[in-house]
Chain A
Amino acid sequence: MAGKTLYDKLWDDHLVAENDDGSALIYIDRQLLHEVTSPQAFEGLRLAGRKPRRLEANLATPDHNVPTTDRSNGIADPVSRIQVQTLGDNCDSFGVTEFKMDDIRQGIVHIVGPEQGYTLPGLTMVCGDSHTATHGAFGAMAFGVGTSEVEHVLATQCLRQKKMKNMLVRVEGKLGTGVTAKDVVLAVIGEIGTAGGNGHAIEFAGSAIESLSMEGRMTVCNMAIEAGARVGLVAVDDKTIEYVKGRPFAPKGEQWEMAVEAWKDLHSDADAQFDRVVELKAEDIVPQVTWGTSPEMVKPVSGNIPNPEKESNPVKKEGIERALQYMDLKADMPITSIPLDKVFIGSCTNARIEDLREAAAVAKGRKVSPSIKQAMVVPGSGLVKQQAEAEGLHTIFTEAGFEWREPGCSMCLAMNADRLEPGEHCASTSNRNFEGRQGQGGRTHLVSPAMAAAAAVHGHFVDVRELELDSELAKASEVN
């Protein structure tokens, strides 16, 4: 019998029952909750007279709607305020642990989970949010669910699921200086397309992935969903265990020893069979920039915008034409000549401490270009913010002309006050460049934190590899 993939192992480990119709009941160890996709789930519980099955298996924090400016007067937008308040009320009345807006531990759910050690290897984990795949960086089966399933997990601690297929994305070799986890995952999406991983769990492997820090692995798994896969995974190694150790929710004492022993098996067996294998060479990956309205519309910074006339597939051709029109860009123009108005450094993809160091290494001693109307840095959590301030990163950013904000999702999806005006172009470290994602009529270009910072100081995209970086900071943020 062939060996098992990491995904197979996690699946088998959480199988409660197999049904005749091919579906299975899967146990969910932990759930993360936020204000947008939970109110109707709590309401459903209440209407049915049900209670959460295991309170300690849930952790909540508001993130999508919270203001990133001064919070002492609460939330100005009444609709957002009600939603955040509703999360608070629901957590209080059901007894769910919540990091509220004024708690230093509050932040974007996908940053808070790992930071608290709530995310652990070997777990099954869900959240009413598609970027839940982030937690797969720890060798956990983590995926996004809709609100009905949030309610289902609250009530039963289980989900009815079909097993996905196994896909392996192997990136071998050494990434060049200035080439980050974000560039790796954008290159993967460019290669397989936004539907390439549909129906699959993607395991990211190979020496380039192993060499990434935990932060980098989270960035990669975070965007598995942009490649169509609900689940992204990286095998557990010493880095994983080192990262988890000592965090507030991590196991302690004897249980820690036992856990580490169990986690050692969380990798695909050497003879495991994958349904699909995609290979990339690390040396071929350069800094990436998206030019269109889908994450697969991506090019190297040195490239040009595609010409629809050269596309033979009529559906793709029309897609390119529509994107060029929406983005107000011309075929064949160099990526470096795209006009930019704003810069956003943040989101669950790139708002961890390492991302901020990477951006600060570029920003240090430089100034945001006068042609950029606004450049902001939004840390992923209160603790990331605290750490960055302890390292003096906020001073580097503010001296360079960046705004330094409070933690939350912010302009990643513009549900709070941070947004693009119609027609504005933004260099953004977030994960989606859909039409209107960062504000109606806004035009998003996805890049790494270093590339975003470089774009801010130059007023247009530049190849970050050509810049001189502050050596100390560059070292601190270097992929190790």
Chain B
Amino acid sequence: MEAFTQHTGLVVPLDRSNVDTDAIIPKQFLKSIKRTGFGPNLFDEWRYLDHGEPGMDNSKRPLNPDFVMNQERYQGASILLARENFGCGSSREHAPWALEDYGIKAVIAPSFADIFFNNCFKNGILPIILDHATMDTLFEQTEANEGFKLDIDLDKQTITMPNGDVISFDVEPDRKHSLYNGLDDIGITLQQEDAITAYEAERSKRAPWLFNS
């Protein structure tokens, strides 16, 4: 996984609540057996006017001019603003894979669905929770100022606005550590192999029916 330390990027405002994983990456694209290549189909049903299927040449498809991410001024955005309960719905990791493949490094919202939130950290994306008032300010500022960028520093846990204002955010220490260092979670867990083996020995006495192979 790619480490996330500091990132400065263009911001795109997706002013919707309850954005679900079906909207982030529609199911027809989940048939892929790869982890990459989902970016062109991120928000497919909102982004294009036609119906998307795997294997289409996305560069030839008609774009929906009303969808915010299609506006010229937001091209190249890497920080996504959204409203409550972003990423609700399925557990599909294809959702963060699509965001990541598109180039999104951070998503900022007042709340996230649990599984999606967790999946972001596994894929080098930083989900940041801010209060409603701060979110409103960010939405207003982004919409009012073309080329609005934010500077996110994971170590300091701060977001710096172009005018120099600083917003701080919370992140759980273990998640921060893994993301900051781009660590392989499985590798970390396997360092505790002895504890796992000891647990299994004890559990197989308590619940032998789970260990009959």
Contacts and interface: CB of A to CB of B under 8 A. Distances in A.
A57 B211 CA distance: 9
A99 interface: no
A160 B208 contact: no
Most buried by B among A22, A25, A146: A146
A195 B206 contact: no
B114 A198 contact: yes
Contact of B199 (A16, A77, A194, A322): A16
Contact of B33 (A82, A146, A259): A82
Contacts of B196: 16, 25, 27, 156-158
A152 B183 CA distance: 13
Interface in B73-90: 83-85, 88-90
A155 B185 CA distance: 11
Interface residues of B, number: 59
Contact of B27 (A123, A151, A194, A415): A415
Contacts of B92: 36-37, 128, 146-147
B207 interface: yes
B142 interface: no
B41 to A, nearest CB: 13
B93 A432 contact: no
A121 to B, nearest CB: 10
A33 B93 CA distance: 14
Interface string A319-351: 100100000000000000000000000000000
B133 interface: no
A262 interface: yes
B93 A144 contact: no
A152 B93 contact: no
B189 A156 contact: yes
Contact of B18 (A17, A39, A194, A440): A194
B34 A17 contact: no
A22 B174 CA distance: 8
B210 A29 contact: yes
A294 B35 contact: no
Contacts of A8: none
A415 B30 contact: yes
A182 B114 CA distance: 23
Contact of A144 (B55, B96, B115, B207): B115
Interface in B1-33: 16-18, 20, 22-23, 26-28, 30-33
A191 to B, nearest CB: 16
Interface stretch (A48-56, A207-215, A451-459): A48-56
B22 A437 contact: yes
A436 B119 CA distance: 23
Interface in B31-51: 31-35, 45, 51
Contacts of A122: 207
The 4 lowest CB-CB distance pairs between A and B, nearest first, are: A251-B209, A146-B93, A39-B33, A144-B91
